[in-house]
Amino acid sequence: MKIGVLALQGAVQEHARAVEAVGAEAILVKRAEQLLELDGLILPGGESTTMRRLIDRYDFMEPLLAFGAAKKPIFGTCAGMILLAQRINNQESNHLGLMDVTVERNAFGRQVDSFETDLVIKDVADDFPAVFIRAPYILDAGPAVEVLSEDTGRIVAARDGHYLATAFHPELTGDTRLIAYFRNMVEEAARAKV
């Protein structure tokens, strides 16, 4: 089971360690052709505008869209959630536009407003330690989107078929239950192709 971490910018090594901790092989993706060998992909937290510029510069856009179209699971954390969203509030264009959600950028405030809280995440945990850093959240989710977690009424984790997104950083804690949930999504998708 090979799970890639888009290694253009952001919390790349932390995600790779979490992937290895749940028994999958982590691949640091620096070239678009590497996507062809993967079973799943993580779009890490970082800065979404910078990540988009790098996606364009290194010709990742079409290969990433093809990866999603092939029904291979993609997990976006924090900035990765913004990259996946079909709609970004107060912004005319999206990035990948793969997940039927509207997101609000920097919705919890600036870096100094970062916080940690325990979340109930459906099918994952009743006490997941979530780290929010300049986090977005989902303002609106389409009818097929499954809301997995909310914090003070704001959607902070959701699944849309083979897409998973969180507003927080699961890789910054020692808790691998959410990464294991994604690994299971990847395994299910791989079995469905056989």
pLDDT of 106 strictly over 80: no
> Catalytic positions, please?
78, 169, 171
- pTM over the 0.85 mark: yes
Q: How many domains does the chain have?
A: 1
Which segments of 72-185 are extended strands (E)? 74-77, 85-88, 99-104, 115-121, 125-132, 137-141, 146-151, 154-160, 163-166
pLDDT of 47 strictly over 90: no
Find the distance separating the first CA and the last CA of the chain, reported in whole Å.
Answer: 14
- Give the CATH number, domain containing residue 93: 3.40.50.880
Average pLDDT over residues 169-186: 96
pLDDT digits (tens, 9 = 90+) for 20-41: 999 999 999 999 999 999 999 9
Residues in the chain: 194
Average pLDDT over residues 36-59: 94
pLDDT of 109 strictly over 70: no
Q: Which of 194 and 146 is assigned the larger pLDDT?
A: 146
Which segments of the chain are extended strands (E)? 2-6, 25-29, 40-43, 74-77, 85-88, 99-104, 115-121, 125-132, 137-141, 146-151, 154-160, 163-166
pLDDT of 108 strictly over 70: no
Give residues with Cβ within 8 angstroms of 150, minimum separation 6: 156
pLDDT digits (tens, 9 = 90+) for 136-164: 999 999 999 999 999 999 999 999 999 99
pLDDT of 102 strictly over 80: yes
Residue 54 lies in domain: 2-193
Asked if residue 168 lies in contact with residue 175, where contact means CB atoms within 8 angstroms, the answer is: no
Helix (H) or strand (E) segment spanning residue 83: helix 79-84
pLDDT of 112 strictly over 60: no
